[in-house]
Amino acid sequence: MPDYPSLLDTLGRGAPVSLQGVSGGCIADARIVGFADGSSVFVKSGAGAFREEAAGLQELAAADAIRVPRVLAVDDDALVLERIESAPACEAFFETFGCRFARLHQYRGRACGFATDNTIGATPQPNAPLATDWNDFPDAPGDGADWPEFFLERRLRFQVRLAAQNGHGNALAHLLDRAERVMLELLAAAPEPPSLLHGDLWSGNFITDERGEPCLIDPAVYYGHREADLAMTRLFGGFAPTFYAAYAEALPLAPGHADRLPLYQLYHLLNHLNLFGGGYYAQSERILRRFAR
């Protein structure tokens, strides 16, 4: 039997009897692990912010809105999750998904941010609130007034600084400075309490479970404006129209959401620029120029 993460020994199922590699991951080593009792688990090991991912999955699970894999064990070197065997998508899959995603966004946080920093892909994602420590806020939903500055500083400005460090120059940072006033006005136009966000929802970050129903994976969790989550779903081809119709029926969007959409997509385009290179530069620059004054 090849080497396996020692964390698996804490499950009390004995040594693994099978290890099957899983394709699709671009950071951690992912495998399905079988045991002599017939049970199996999904394990990530190697590179990865495993404790942070586990915290995000557990926060999503607490909302009791959409299924996520149960966290079975975690340490600095590995993350062990419930294995979910996918079935074909159920009838009305995207309607169900849209309705449940709206329910997730009705789970509100004490401020914009999260108790811990985490990652989006391999990129660090700082989540500290701007005003004070996360635990210093009352344990009640915030009003979301901190969202515009949070998104500008913790999301956009962080990414453009990283882009400069990665050799993409300072032009994006200068454009962001020029666009700041317009961006803050747009982001402040639809205030609402911070929603629990998946943070990185595209077609590769959900699966179907054994009933063919939606299950979220690979989150970059924080609390923020729900339009940011929806914007990512539209970036790379989008979901079925029935997803958005069901979402809007369950939790209508504020006027002007289409105007804010490119701002939220900019965060992910900048992240792709930092992860994968210059192919995302022109699109990022074009959005910034649209708002620069």
- Please say if 117 is a catalytic residue: no
Whats the size of the chain, residue-wise? 293
User: Which of these is catalytic: 146, 200, 218, 229?
Assistant: 200
Please report which helix (H) or strand (E) contains residue 124, including its range.
Answer: strand 123-125
- Cβ distance 287 to 269 under 8 Å? yes
The single residue listed with the structure tokens 């039997």 is: 1
The single residue listed with the structure tokens 């920093």 is: 117
State the CB neighbour count (10 A cutoff) for residue 45: 21
Partner residues linked to 42 by β-bridges: 32, 81
The amino acid at residue 6 is: S
- Cβ distance 44 to 30 under 8 Å? yes
- Residues annotated as catalytic (active site), given as ranges: 200
